[in-house]
């Protein structure tokens, strides 16, 4: 079994313009922000992004990297609508495929199981069918003849997720209250990259946590990256909560100013130093 450890920049170096990229987490919770920041240090663009959107979407949208977004929402949780996403969308900077949350989840399930679509009741009789004229319905082949929405599989070229712990083989563990479907993102992608707060030995993964916390298996992981505080400024419970003060700064600062101060460095250490310097200013 091979060592799959990588750096954020090595992961970003494997991503290409025009890819379909899945990003795990939910809103402003456990987003793989260090990997997204590494992606922003490249020239990769023209992406189709699949995400339960949060600041990952906001950062990439503000930087002009998204061609099409597939998402049920884009939120910072404590700030209901992601402001940089909103600004980019209102300017017509990218296409949007907006799905119901349940439809989105079953699109992930379909892709993870290598199915072209899965039938769901969600969406019937709603505006989601009107704003997505490409969606089709199917009729049950059994006696009931019920009609369903045929949600297409959300296949991805690559996926990025962040977990609390992982081993060098690619097994990943979440310790917070919700898995956020990160396992489906990994299984729905051709390549999956897991960042984590801490790399540990395989035996440590089940020493103090239940086996069901082993969310991601090495069979679906291409690379693993140790990035302490790598979900900042989103939450990564129980390791840390959302940095609400910094999130507010992000939400209220014009993009060029924010990017110039916090995203202009050559690596993740530069970002963390810039955040630390900002905290000092607040004292």
Note the pLDDT tens digit of each residue in 69-127.
999 999 999 999 999 999 999 999 999 999 999 999 999 999 999 999 999 999 998 99
Return the H-helix or E-strand segment holding 111. Answer: helix 101-112
Is pTM beyond 0.95 here? yes
Contacts of 103 (CB under 8 A, 6+ apart): 72, 120, 122, 123, 128, 149, 151
Residue 103 tokens read as 């439809």
- Architecture label for domain 8-99+154-243: 3-Layer(aba) Sandwich (3.40)
Question: For each of the chain's 283 residues, which pLDDT tens digit applies?
Answer: 699 999 999 999 999 999 999 999 999 999 999 999 999 999 999 999 999 999 999 999 999 999 999 999 999 999 999 999 999 999 999 999 999 999 999 999 999 999 999 999 999 989 999 999 999 999 999 988 999 999 999 999 999 999 999 999 999 999 999 999 999 999 999 999 999 999 999 999 988 888 889 999 999 999 999 999 999 999 999 999 999 999 999 999 999 999 999 999 999 999 999 999 999 999 8
Contacts of 145 (CB under 8 A, 6+ apart): 139
DSSP output for 173-218: E--SS--TTHHHHHHTEEEEEEEEEEE--GGGGGTSS-GGG--B-G
Contacts of 277 (CB under 8 A, 6+ apart): none
Backbone φ and ψ for 7, nearest 5 degrees, come out as -105, 160
- Location of structure tokens 């990229």: 21
- Location of structure tokens 């699949």: 50
Domain boundaries, the chain: 8-99+154-243, 117-152
Q: Report the half-sphere exposure of 170 (CA within 13 A, side-chain side).
A: 19
């Amino acid at each position: 079994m091979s060592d799959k450890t990588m750096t954020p920049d090595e992961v970003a170096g494997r991503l290409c313009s025009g890819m379909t990229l899945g990003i795990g987490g939910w809103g402003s919770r456990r987003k793989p922000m260090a990997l997204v920041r590494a992606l922003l240090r490249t020239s990769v663009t023209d992406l189709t992004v699949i995400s339960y959107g949060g600041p990952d979407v906001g950062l990439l949208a503000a930087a002009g990297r998204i061609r099409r977004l597939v998402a049920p929402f884009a939120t910072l949780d404590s700030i209901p609508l992601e402001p940089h996403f909103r600004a980019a969308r209102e300017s017509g900077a990218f296409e949007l495929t907006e799905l119901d949350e349940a439809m989105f989840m079953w699109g992930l399930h379909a892709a993870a199981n290598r199915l072209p679509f899965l039938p769901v009741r969600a969406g019937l009789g709603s505006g989601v069918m009107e704003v997505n004229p490409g969606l089709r319905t199917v009729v049950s082949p059994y006696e009931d003849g019920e009609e369903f929405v045929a949600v297409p599989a959300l296949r991805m070229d690559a996926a990025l997720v962040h977990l609390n712990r992982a081993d060098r083989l690619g097994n990943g563990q979440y310790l917070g209250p919700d898995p956020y479907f990160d396992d489906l993102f990994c299984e729905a992608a051709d390549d999956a990259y897991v960042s984590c707060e801490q790399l540990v030995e395989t035996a440590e993964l089940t020493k103090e946590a239940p086996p069901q916390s082993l969310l991601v298996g090495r069979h679906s992981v291409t690379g693993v990256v140790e990035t302490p505080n790598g979900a900042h400024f989103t939450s990564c419970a129980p390791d840390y909560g959302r940095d609400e003060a910094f999130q507010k700064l992000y939400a209220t600062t014009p993009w060029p100013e924010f990017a110039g101060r916090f995203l202009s460095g050559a690596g993740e250490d530069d970002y963390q130093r810039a955040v630390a310097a900002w905290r000092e200013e607040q004292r």
